[in-house]
Each structure stands twice: as structure tokens, then as C-alpha cells.
Amino acid sequence: LTKASAKSRSDSLKDEEQRLAEAQGSVVRLVDKVKEETVEVEKAMEDLKKAQEELMNDPLMKAADLKSGGIVKQGALVGTLLFSFRSFGELLLMAGPNGADHGVAAAVQAVIALACAAYFIFV
């Protein structure tokens, strides 16, 4: 009975050792896979950062990004729109009485609108 019990325990230990070796091999493969995936993710993150930098350097994107531009850039956009519409309105009023006065006002407001637009686009 003792020999049979010892043999049974020995076989059981061998089975456990074999399962442990298989599990260790599986863990090693899993760790290698994680390392490979980590490298790929890091590369993808670098590519995304480069793409974001290129996108943020695009003049059209700079113009569209009002939040990061701050209150001054937002004010320049509002000034551009406001003075453009006012200048157009003054141009329409030139057909009526005191047309020359409206022409001067239209020209001044157009210059202010252009200055605001230049600041908005180039700064």
C-alpha cells in the first residue's frame, strides 16, 4: 500500500510539475505578447502626437481653434464680423442723403475689419 501510495504521489507530482511548466511557458508567451503590444501602442501614440502637432500647425486649424486663442483672438473675430457688417451697411446707405459721410464711415470700418481679420488670421 505504501509503494502504491508513493507511486501515486510521485505521478501526481510529475503531473503538477508538467502543468506548472506549461503554465510558465504560457506566462512567458503572454509577457512577450504584452511587450510587443506595448511597443506597437507606443509607436501609435508617437504617430498620433506627430499628427496632432501637424494639425495644430495648420493655419486653418489655428483659425478655427478659438478656445486656445483666448479672449483677444475671439474679440478679433467678433470685431472682424461686426465691422464688416457695419461697413457693408454704410456702403448701402451711401445711396441716400449724405452719401459721402457714409462712404468715409464705411472705409474706416472696413480698415478696422481688415485689421481685426489680420490679427485673427496671423496671430
Q: Give the DSSP per-residue string, the chain.
A: -HHHHHHHHHHHHHHHHHHHHHHHHHHHHHHHHHHHHHHHHHHHHHHHHHHHHHHHHSHHHHHH-HHHHHHHHHHHHHHHHHHHHHHHHHHHHTTSTTHHHHHHHHHHHHHHHHHHHHHHHH-
More reliable by pLDDT, 11 or 115: 115
Tell me the pLDDT tens digit for each residue of 71-97.
Answer: 888 899 999 999 999 999 999 998 888
Tell me the pLDDT tens digit for each residue of 16-68.
Answer: 999 999 999 999 999 999 999 999 999 999 999 999 888 877 767 766 677 77
Q: For the whole model, what pTM was predicted?
A: 0.51
